[in-house]
Structure 1
Amino acid sequence: MDLQYTPEQNQLRESVERFVRDEYDFTRRRKLVTSDAGHDESCWRQYADFGWLAIPFSEEEGGIGGDATDTGIVMEGVGRGLLLEPYLANVVLAGGVISALGNAGQKAEWLQPMMLGQRKLALAYSEPGARYEISTCATTARRDGGGWVIDGRKSLVYGGSKADTFVVIARTAGNLDDRDGLSAFVVDAGTPGLGITPYALHDGQRAADVAFAGVRVDAARLLGEEGQALASLELVIDQAIAAVASEAVGAMATLVDMTLDYLKTRQQFGRPIGTNQALQHRMVDMYIALDEARSMALYGALMLTEPDAAARRKALSATKIEIDRTARLVGQEAVQLHGAMGVTEELAVGHYFKRLSMIGVSFGDRDWHLRRYAGG
């Protein structure tokens, strides 16, 4: 197995790092956090121009034909710069479901405009009280004439505050926790009966709760076969775990660099505090944790092609468990080694720590994945 980046992947990595370094400094991000949109539309158009939005999709779909490693390179850059644009929501989550379940016409209508930066998508699958269980779904879709009527509620819809189109998971058969009977539908944001409650998350990202009260869609908006969406949804969530693992690696790498620089420049008793051997040992622990996280993020990305779904899920749970552990170690050490200023709004360290904390509870927390790993 060749674990080296290809020349094309190195070019992608360099372009992402250049964009973060030259276009997305911390001052700009702080202004975007408090803006109405919560991100920069001009940056989103640049993502499309660079081809980042088309990376994981096949050439037949209008994409570039990349893989999870390529997506991970972009997500690592997202983590390094704490980018606010909804890349995960559009490309990995909603785009992933349309790619997995949609036909050629549906991909042309909804997926390709997203790749061009002309349409924003969001995946509405999580529900209040589900506790990370993907199959738990109280939202229903029932046949009505030549279409469907959707009723229910979805929570924590990433990118939902500014989405043009939602990919909605609804139950068309079975009981609350049944694995069979889940279907995916495409619903436009302006559809009558659709209510959107946007809000900002602790880390500056944006999400929304979405309510469906007799929302009517036509039959052409059903993605794939009725009642057969769960397997594809589980794969997409595993892809999201691999993506945020790479994002966490990028955030951790920046924290390691910031902390090392601080230890070299902060003076105490007439010398840099980095000359203290105890602090040097803690810095080494951060470097080791970063390398462990990078290895597990790559492992997770490579295991997405595993044909055995149970083995894939177990591998991605292992990735998430290790990412949560290392992110907590690196984040806490970075804050502590910076002292009280590490948690101020003016210093970037605390913002990276917030994002790592949110990644820790995204798509299943450590305890949930430990149970899934043990059960797999």
Structure 2
Amino acid sequence: MEFELSEEQRLLKESVDGLLTEVYGFERRKKYMKENAGWRKAIWGRLAEQGLLGLPFAESDGGFGAGAVETMIVMEELGRALVLEPFLPTIVIGGGFLRHGGSVAQRAAYIPSIIDGANTFAFAQLERNSRYDLENVVTSAKKKSNGWIVDGEKFVVINGENADVLIVTARTRGAQRDRSGIGVFLVPADAKGVSKKSYPTQDGLRAADITFTKVEVGGDAAIGDPENALSLIERVVDDARTALCAEAIGIMDESLKTTVEYMKTRNQFGVPIGSFQSLQHRAADMFVALEQARSMSMFATMAADFDDAGERAKAVAAAIVQIDKSGKFIGQQSIQLHGGIGMTMDAKIGHYFKRLTMISNTTGGADYHLSRVCESDALL
């Protein structure tokens, strides 16, 4: 696949890289993890000042009208720096629901506070035993006069502890696994009846298990059709998976660079280990795996503009299959080539591998998406 960035896109890449080089680094990241939110609000403000939080939103909503390629560029750079700030849950997912399904009033009420960095979002979707099936929803939303009553539990909600607004999937009618009868609701994080149990995740982020007990929201809280929102959910989740693919590319690229640099400086038998032909071949295999993954990430990004939802979903699934395989290979080889130091908390290479592993678990990994590709009669 031939893919060239435009001049504006190259400038975007350089500006994001320059900002993160200035404010982020491995040692600084460890300090940011200890903040109350698990990330630094001053950094979030810098992202807002640089216009990154407004990239995907339409100019009529106060944004810059950028597309999936620009999101890919930003996510790759965020991956390189292992950024903790909630760009994915707020901009890609929260913003995605508002862009694809929000009313004019909802966009006017929420998007400005996203763009200026005042509010962050979290996506409350995962339920007990639901795995990656988006239609498996037990949390209920029952109609009450002009509003809704939300009851249920959601698990592993990234940024759930500190988000200002929760985007909650809930069943308005039907059985647990029916594709119809699912709605998406905007719930204030401090609403009466919302309780949270927060904890750190293996990759340094923070998540929360959230319980909704007779939480009342207004009739304007529903995004789109409250009885047929599954197609909207699938669209936004595939956008998020595509963004995670791009983040994984940034992590794999940085993992390879870090490993090659280590091979140049680590001496064994009086010479750098990078001089050993067998290890050079292994680094070459890592590079091939990275380029295979990169091409599929680009393909998934291009698919964001496909009119056919089925073709778009197949492209994302196929990309995840390759990226998951490449990520595991590059991560494992990076750790092995670093030797014992790669297993320590003080070496950043292990943190790259942790994040790659969590991305795999979040997207569904190769096995789940290979089954999606096979069921769709598509070819990899």
TM (norm. structure 2) is 0.97
In terms of mean alpha carbon deviation, does 102-111 or 341-350 score higher? 102-111
How many angstroms does 1:54 deviate by?
1.1
Structure 2 counterpart of 1:64, one-letter code: F
How many angstroms does 1:308 deviate by?
1.3
Deviations 1:250-275 (A, max 9, x none): 01111111111111111111111111
2:14 aligns with 14
- Corresponding residue SS for 1:286: helix
2:181 aligns with 181
Deviations 1:138-196 (A, max 9, x none): 01101112211010111121211110111111111111011111111111111111111
Distance 2:365 2:213 in 1: 31
Structure 2 counterpart of 1:68, one-letter code: A
1:74 aligns with 74
Runs of 4+ in 1 over 4 A off after TM superposition: none
Q: Structure 2 matches for 1:1-376, cutoff 5 A?
A: 3-376=3-376
Distance 2:231 2:61 in 1: 21
In terms of mean alpha carbon deviation, does 2-11 or 350-359 score higher? 2-11
Paired residues of 1:248 and 1:323 also in contact (CA < 8 A): yes
- Corresponding residue SS for 2:161: helix
Paired residues of 1:20 and 1:80 also in contact (CA < 8 A): no
Q: Share of identical aligned residues, percent?
A: 39
Distance 1:121 1:21 in 2: 26
Distance 1:313 1:188 in 2: 30
Paired residues of 1:318 and 1:373 also in contact (CA < 8 A): yes
- Corresponding residue SS for 2:364: coil
- Corresponding residue SS for 1:117: coil
Distance 1:296 1:255 in 2: 18
Deviations 1:310-348 (A, max 9, x none): 111111000111110000011111100000100101110
Paired residues of 1:61 and 1:104 also in contact (CA < 8 A): no
Distance 2:363 2:267 in 1: 41
Distance 2:115 2:47 in 1: 9
How many angstroms does 1:2 deviate by?
6.8
Distance 1:352 1:20 in 2: 16
Distance 2:94 2:211 in 1: 18
Q: CA RMSD for the aligned pairs?
A: 1.1
TM (norm. structure 1) is 0.98
Deviations 1:275-333 (A, max 9, x none): 10000000101111111111111110001111111111111000111110000011111
Distance 2:137 2:192 in 1: 22
- Corresponding residue SS for 1:161: coil
In terms of mean alpha carbon deviation, does 54-63 or 78-87 score higher? 54-63
List alignment gaps of at least 5 residues for structure 2: none
How many angstroms does 1:365 deviate by?
2.2
Distance 2:36 2:44 in 1: 15
Distance 1:88 1:117 in 2: 14
Distance 1:132 1:107 in 2: 28
Distance 1:40 1:171 in 2: 35
Structure 1 counterpart of 2:329, one-letter code: L
Distance 1:98 1:176 in 2: 25
Deviations 1:17-58 (A, max 9, x none): 112222101000011223321111110001111111111111
Deviations 1:49-104 (A, max 9, x none): 11111111111222111111100100001110000000001011121112211111
Distance 2:2 2:364 in 1: 30
- Corresponding residue SS for 2:210: strand
Distance 1:97 1:126 in 2: 16
Structure 2 counterpart of 1:348, one-letter code: K
- Corresponding residue SS for 1:162: coil
Provide closer, same or farther for how the CA distance between residues 276 and 2 of structure 1 changes in structure 2, counting only shifts above 3 A: closer
Deviations 1:215-247 (A, max 9, x none): 001111111122121111101111111101110
Distance 1:85 1:155 in 2: 20
Paired residues of 1:183 and 1:226 also in contact (CA < 8 A): yes
Distance 1:65 1:177 in 2: 36
